[in-house]
Structure 1
């Protein structure tokens, strides 16, 4: 039995990640259509009625709009969200499906340990997640304006890290977005830039760790980034710090429109 991860969709038009721990199936967010979620699950060899739960990071539509359909397809799918987030997305028809947690406090589903850690975004009480199962750990940290020390401490010992690399700063500054939106994205409660993601990885890879890490750069902006720019920023930063070693790290980009492989953590 293993811990596995797959990105069904990652980006500003919708996010949905699959985590499989043994026979237990969880989704991190369901921000795309039910049809696309079902197609993504099928591609990973899983049927929609196998989903046991949806872990919600925050209430923005690109993270929650498919939840009702997931619950319709699977009568055993529970919705895990802190109370502040649930108040924003609550549906009385799904009230009996809601399972609450306290941000910053670990909880378990079966024998899966889940840590919902606080992130920094313009939502009521956003969280990222670390999921541990049989000695393996993956962390998902997107939709955060910066990596605080608390976030760093939580993710630094993960075998697989899904890390936001949303925009290239100079491209964003020159784009046609209104000034207020640019400032929101660039702010401490916006989104991580390629540079910020690269700096985070440099810091992580300087920490002692016995195994090779896998890093998936996520939530790329379609308008203000490309996979090539995200890869280059990370590669240059790792190379400049002597950390670009095949034994130390592998990094890839996950995108909006292409499903990732099913990775074993």
Structure 2
């Protein structure tokens, strides 16, 4: 299994995962043209995509879905509530498929398990993606870490996990009070400390590779995230920690054999 976070943040989120001839996008929050460009940067042809799986209906996760689906005849997988909420924004889809939250489904080489997260969307999910040997966890856009989230992620060798904001930077920054409260709420986004505290628990399980994602460009900074990561994870130097970027993709990473 290989994956690349093509970009992550408030201006767009998209990740590609591949095994054998199967290539999935998790979300498509950039324009179709931009996603095509970023896929080419990591050596993937957009025409080879097998499917797009969708976490929730916010624009920074679905902006390019309609264009890609229609241009390349790509099936779009989302739960029923997300399909309904996204429909006015993405228009006609040539192939729309539904999954139930908590119910695993198969896309060629991959088994995909959608699990509930806590965010201000109609029915948001994270994903566990398995090729039968390794598991990748994807968990962004959640305001809290639930026992369910921890249960699923502790089975993964690699995790893409939100580290959205530094609490003090948020409180002292330019966001109006209502927006601050939304971000800090149980249906907002994970703070660095909460994210890395979870990562330290996952480090005691199977975690080998951690990608920190959805960093705020206003209320966070890579150096701040790295300091928090060092505090929580320095005791286990075997874990590789990478920060995703908004403006360009990370290289394709292999989870090994």
Give the TM bin, normalised by the shorter chain.
Answer: over 0.9
* Structure 2 residue matching 1:161: 3-state secondary structure: strand
**Corresponding position of 2:240:** 250
Q: Residue 31 of structure 1 contacts residue 65 of structure 1 at CA under 8 Å; is this kept in 2?
A: yes
- In 2, the alpha carbon distance for the partners of 1:254 and 1:224 equals 16
**TM-score, normalization by structure 2:** 0.95
SS in 2 for 1:115: strand
Deviation per CA, 1:47-100: give whole Å up to 9, x if none. 11111111000000000010012113312x100000000001125621x41010
Please name the residue that 1:45 is paired with: 43
Name 1:86's counterpart in structure 2. 83
Corresponding residue to 1:163 among 161, 164, 167: 161
- In 1, are the aligned partners of 2:42 and 2:249 still within 8 Å (CA)? no
SS in 2 for 1:123: coil
Query: Counterparts of 1:93 and 1:35 in 2: how far apart (Å)?
Result: 18
Q: How does 1:59-78 map to 2 (within 5 A)?
A: 59-75=57-73, 77-78=74-75
Distance 2:196 2:96 in 1: 36
Structure 1 residue aligned with 2:221? 226
Runs of 4+ in 1 over 3 A off after TM superposition: none
Alignment pair present for 1:202 and 2:192: no
* Alpha-carbon distance in 2 for matches of 1:47, 1:250: 28
CA drift at 1:108: 0.7
Q: Which residue in 2 is equivalent to 1:27? A: 25
Using the alignment, how far apart are the partners of 1:120 and 1:92 within structure 2?
26
Q: Distance in 1 between matches of 2:66 and 2:157?
A: 32
Matched pairs, number: 253
Question: Partners in 2 of 1:139 and 1:49 — Cα distance?
Answer: 25
Contact (CA 8 Å) 1:156, 1:204: kept in 2 or not? yes
Unaligned runs of 5+ in 2: none
State the Cα deviation string for residues 209-236 of structure 1 (Å, max 9, x = none): 4xx6100000000001011111111111
Q: SS where residue 93 of structure 1 aligns?
A: coil
Structure 1 CA distance for aligned equivalents of residues 154 and 134 of structure 2: 13
Q: Equivalents in 2 of 1:8, 1:141: separation in Å?
A: 15
Q: Is the 8 A contact 1:139 1:162 kept in 2?
A: yes
What do residues 171-215 of structure 1 show as CA deviations (whole Å, max 9, x unaligned)? 0000111101101100111000000011101111233x4xx6100
Q: Distance in 2 between matches of 1:134 and 1:206?
A: 22
